[in-house]
Amino acid sequence: MTNDILVSMSTNRNEVEIGKEIEIRIKIPKTVGTCSDLRILFNRFGENPSIIQYLRRKDDTEEYYTNVEFNLLGNYYFFFDLKINGEYQTIKISRKTNKPFITKEESPYWRLLVIQKEFEVPKWAKNGETIFYQIFLDRFFSSGNAAMVKLNGRNCRKWGEMPNYTKNEEGEFHNNDFFLGNIEGIIKKLSYLKKLGVTVLYLSPIVYSKFRYDRYAATDYMMIDPNAGTFETLRILHEKANKMKMHIVLDMAFNHCSSDNPIFQDAIANPNSKFRKWFYINDDGTYAYWYGEFKDMPIFNQHNKEYQNYVFGENGIIDLYAKYVDGFRLDVSEELNLEFLEGIRKRANENGAHLIIGECWKKVPLEKIGVGIDTPTNYLFTDAIYKIIVDNNYEYFKWIMKDVLENYPEETIATMLNSLDTHDTVRALTCLKGNWMRNDRERWKIDDVPSKWHKTINGKIVFLTQVFRDDEAECDRLPPKEYRKAKGMLKAASVIQYFLPGCPCIFYGTEVGLHGYKDPFNRKCFPWNYIDKSLLRHFIRLGKTRRSNKEALSDANFQILDYNDKVLKFTRNNLLIIVNTSDKYQKVKVPKEYQEAEKVFKVGVKGDKFQPYGALVLKKE
């Protein structure tokens, strides 16, 4: 009888804007008994009851209601308590039926996420078929014209050679290792990207950086690196991409610049320089620099109004680039303060509907979402995918999914970048290979202390970078047996990646077999003459399947069904995704309601038999 209790809210999803009042209603059948003193109790996450309100009865009906306003961001959990025939009871959610029921025991509460006002991302970024493609500009494709621009001092390399991982003549590690990939090269490969199903091109920095091929430390923000292209080639890329229903997101690094930037050179040389307060420079000439290790990357003072104006004021950096792109990815956004982020996001949107992505390795506080950034680089999902594919750690996978999906707004969930690898991590195939360089540490933390590459010298722990890189180079090659296994695991991992809430993001070359350990081995040139065609076909098929099922993938609806015998089953609306995460053949039983469903994607599956790392996607009408 208590299953007839109904709870409803005047919001069509489990989130509400801060400061907005909503009505919450509950219907309690008279057959339950005589009800009195009906209250609703809200617990903001980490707090004791934040809000307690009595509900009013609607005339002489079985319905009760109250209006609630939330003035703090965060997750709110709520339940009801009341007297039934004079005895105190609570109304919570049944674990078995997922419906309201009367109980005195512990049971789940309802949940509401309070988010920023009027938060909305561009429609093109959240349509269910979105696929990002991360392009490391210097290593993707060279049109040939880049080599015509001669810049003194640059070490220009032959396409496809191993990136330099040794010290230079001065005994220092450097980034002066250019292969001359350029914007025009991307233009020439737009049809290839379209075939992959790519809808967003995420470009590494293109600003002028004198001796850094990665361009994450600018010598001049107002100038496109001559070996990368010009504003005209950027305009052409933007127009052609948009015509092909693809958008451009550009990476920008505002936390630090290059020590050869004329602004810093003036600031460090002249105590009275107008740029002195743009940095953290001490009276003795020492200064703060990135990570406390990279002296060639001095840190900006984000609080300085003149620097803020340089970035997002009138005719600033954002104004200059916003007309050529559809969004920005902000490097090390976890190091950027909220006021600075808010200024960038506001200015970008004044120039059009721009998507702002923050580089984030941890969960993003709600205070930043919808004000400073729209969505993160979702390394949390990256880690969770590896945990279940490599370690069969279902509990971790399940916990991460719940934590992210309950703590981000739906606009953010729809657009977060789910990568398997990036320019800052080990390549996916190398992460998945059998013979690992270090088995006592998570794959993200391969070079964390302690390790065989750390030595104590004069009481200080020193990382032996050259020894580490030599070991990476020695282990770089994947023998055929390791490659085949890693390739199967990559296919399984990519199926999970493509069907989780959010947007899959391909790191250039992963789709054709590019591998490698950390920088610089993960930044090899795209192997245009050595493509793994079967792997490429797999990613093309994934793109087509995602595109043809965009309605089912356009919201945050996600539910794990089970994980038995290392076989993961989860749903996205009317889609069922089944992935064998083991290295054994498995006979898999499809749930009854999907036994007549259409098979929209499969790899390594025949009938009910799944090969190691086989996967199947079913669609019911």
CATH number at residue 13: 2.60.40.10
Split into its structural domains, the chain has a count of 2
**Per-residue pLDDT at 144:** 80
Rounded-to-integer distance, Cα 601 and Cα 22, Å: 42
Residue 147 domain-assigned (yes or no): no
Quick: pLDDT tens for 523-576.
999 999 999 999 999 999 999 999 999 999 999 999 999 999 999 999 999 999
Rounded-to-integer distance, Cα 338 and Cα 371, Å: 8
| CA 429 remoteness from chain centre | 19
**Per-residue pLDDT at 3:** 57
Closest CA to 264 of 278, 282, 254, 253: 278
Contact partners, residue 78, CB within 8 Å, separation at least 6: 24, 40, 41, 42, 43, 109, 110, 111, 112
Domain boundary among the residues 52, 82, 115 is at 115
**DSSP state, residue 256:** B
Rounded-to-integer distance, Cα 87 and Cα 551, Å: 47
Bridge partners of residue 83, in order along the sequence: 36, 88
Do 193 and 244 contact (CB within 8 A), yes or no?
A: no
Residue 582 domain-assigned (yes or no): yes
Rounded-to-integer distance, Cα 384 and Cα 458, Å: 39
What is the enclosing helix (H) or strand (E) of 340? helix 338-350
Cis peptide before 108 (omega within 30 of 0): no
Rounded-to-integer distance, Cα 99 and Cα 23, Å: 19
Closest CA to 118 of 16, 23, 21: 16
C-alpha distances (whole Å) from 263 to each of 220, 298, 300, 377, 497 are 9, 11, 11, 30, 42
**DSSP state, residue 123:** G
Rounded-to-integer distance, Cα 24 and Cα 488, Å: 49
Residue 450 domain-assigned (yes or no): no
**Per-residue pLDDT at 130:** 97
Mean pLDDT, 10 residues at a time, the chain of 621 residues: 79 89 94 93 85 91 94 94 93 91 90 95 94 98 82 92 89 88 97 98 97 96 96 98 98 97 97 96 94 90 98 97 98 97 97 95 95 97 96 96 96 97 96 86 84 92 93 93 96 98 98 95 97 98 97 94 96 98 96 95 96 97 87
Residue 546 domain-assigned (yes or no): no
Rounded-to-integer distance, Cα 2 and Cα 32, Å: 7
User: DSSP labels for 496-563?
Assistant: HHHHSSSEEEEETTGGGT----STTGGGPPP-TTS--HHHHHHHHHHHHHHHHTTTTTSS---EEEEE
Do 66 and 40 contact (CB within 8 A), yes or no?
A: yes
Bridge partners of residue 67, in order along the sequence: 23
480-499 helix and 379-390 helix, angle to the nearest 10 degrees? 130
Closest CA to 299 of 318, 283, 279: 279
Residue 458 domain-assigned (yes or no): no
Residue 569 domain-assigned (yes or no): yes
- What's the one-letter identity of residue 80? F
Do 94 and 105 contact (CB within 8 A), yes or no?
A: no
Residue 77 domain-assigned (yes or no): yes
**Per-residue pLDDT at 588:** 96
Please give the model's pTM, rounded to 2 decimal places. 0.95
**Per-residue pLDDT at 262:** 98
Domain that holds residue 29: 2-115
Domain boundary among the residues 60, 84, 115 is at 115
Rounded-to-integer distance, Cα 379 and Cα 450, Å: 23
Closest CA to 136 of 185, 197, 99: 185
Domain boundary among the residues 89, 115, 141 is at 115
Quick: pLDDT tens for 46-64.
887 789 999 999 988 899 9
Residue 585 domain-assigned (yes or no): yes
- How many beta carbons lie within 10 A of that of residue 479, not counting itself? 10
Do 360 and 233 contact (CB within 8 A), yes or no?
A: no
- What's the one-letter identity of residue 247? H
Which CATH number characterizes residue 587's domain?
Answer: 2.60.40.1180
